[in-house]
Amino acid sequence: MQSATFSPLPHAGGILKNYINGEFVDSELYFDNINPVNGQRINQVSEANQELVDSAVAAARTALKGEWQQMSLAQRCALLHKVADGIEARFDEFVAAEMADTGKSLNQAKTIDIPRGAANFRVFADLVKAQASECFHTATPDGLGALNYSVNKPLGVVAVIAPWNLPLLLLTWKLAPALATGNTVVVKPSEETPATATLLAEVMDAAGIPPGVFNLLHGFGENSTGAMLTQHTGIDAVTFTGESKTGSAIMRAAADGVKSLSFELGGKNAALIFADSDFDAAVEGTCRSVFTNGGQVCLCTERVYVERSIYPQFVAAMKAKAEALKIGWPTDHDTDMGPLISHQHRNKVLAFFHSAKADGAEVVCGGGVPSFGDERDQGAFVEPSIFTGLSESSQLQRQEVFGPICHISPFDTEQQAIELANNSEYGLAATVWTQNLSRAHRVAQQMDVGITWVNTWYLRDLRTPFGGVKLSGLGREGGVHSLSFYSEPMNICIKL
């Protein structure tokens, strides 16, 4: 029997501490970090209290006007490149920590999560050097004119609240542009995935990031570290990725201080499969968009709409693909899907399964918990699941599940497909599968989402705008859009 031991595993059996003003700090109030593969404790985490939150914010405010502000842009960017180098130097440790916290496969951690975590620092360090400003020659009555030009200034102290599904990747996706534009930060990773953020603090320290520029606080959201941070008067902006209802709570907390906000929230993403699509590619791509990371990616597909003439064939092909997925040890090279993040989240996902069955859904495959006969039975695994037969008003079709599940429905016309896809309170992403070029452009532009993929999924250019509409978010991240959020343009007028 294979063991679920991860090696090398930093801080195994120890304590993950907070990092404030260049020092690791212990609050002596702890919570357990649990491995979702087998339910065993990996280590303990020091939960930040109000005193530590105050200290971290104060350190960030002091650093904002200190050495970090006095550095040239070239020096600041060089440090961010050193951070990227530091992640890569400890690559195996980051992979092990990410796998232990999330249960995701070795292949995903090695090829996506950790490489992108490092790449984000390089991308934004290079992009900020070309950040645009404006300059205008303005006519004046005396004929001499005036020169108006803008300079980009940092927002100030930014609270960075990261999710548990792609812990390092999505943390650095926010952190890198915030630092590149000269802000200081207080980071709160998810309580479910504290390890890679702690390793990142060690890398920041070793790279020479000045004390107070990067601060790390562990803890929960409501009535804990997250709430203390978002409500803090010393915070100038909040960037958050997570559930829509949490985004609403943060918005209320930030209202009094009129803090700048950037939210990437939930999704109930649709895939449209037209009869003229490359059938095999559409099945392969949709299977990937449904089941990647156990469906625990904001961009994953949960609603699949298939043109009626190929509907039975498509459902059968998806069933075969789902049943062929290997659920297992993250360390196995052929593992396709690991566990969900926690037993609590599994209970939420299973509740959706039960609701769907009660509403009369047909279970095409899955719908339950796999049995292994070993310590994985104590983990948080769920079967890859496909349902059909539900109305658009059912709970499964309306609410985000965030698990390895999709519902497949038929459609008859292009217009009906568009209406079905847009019939959601969410609006993050959509996929369209067709070989008709005109239809591809026509349908893609009618999706009420922030990003539409045609004949692909999860293909990203980090320079492009990323974000959602409706309950799926506020603002855009990526490229110059991230730089614009984390900086404030100031106009200077010089009379000539």
Active-site annotation, residues: 264, 298
- Verify cis geometry, omega within 30 degrees of 0, for the bond prior to 177: no
Report the relative pairing of strands 301-307 and 405-411 from DSSP bridges: parallel
One-letter amino acid at 356 equals: A
Displacement of CA 368 from its chain's centroid (Å): 26
Contact 256, 365 (CB under 8 A): no
Tokens of 183: 């802000």
Cβ atoms of residues 472 and 133 within 8 Å: no
User: Rounded to an integer, what distance in angstroms lies between the CA atom of residue 245 and that of residue 205?
Assistant: 34
Residue type present at position 79: L
Q: What is the DSSP letter of 257?
A: T
Residue with tokens 């890198």: 176
Q: 80: Cβ–Cβ under 8 A, 6 or more apart, which residues?
A: 121, 122, 124, 125, 176, 179, 180
How far is residue 270 CA from its own chain's centroid?
18
Say how many Å lie between the first and final Cα of the chain, rounded.
80
Burial class (CB in 10 A: 0-12, 13-18, 19+), 146: middle
3-state helix, strand, coil in the chain (%, to 5): 40, 20, 35
Distance set, CA 357 to CA 42, 270, 361, 394 (Å): 36, 21, 5, 11
In Å, how far from its chain's centre is CA 309?
A: 36
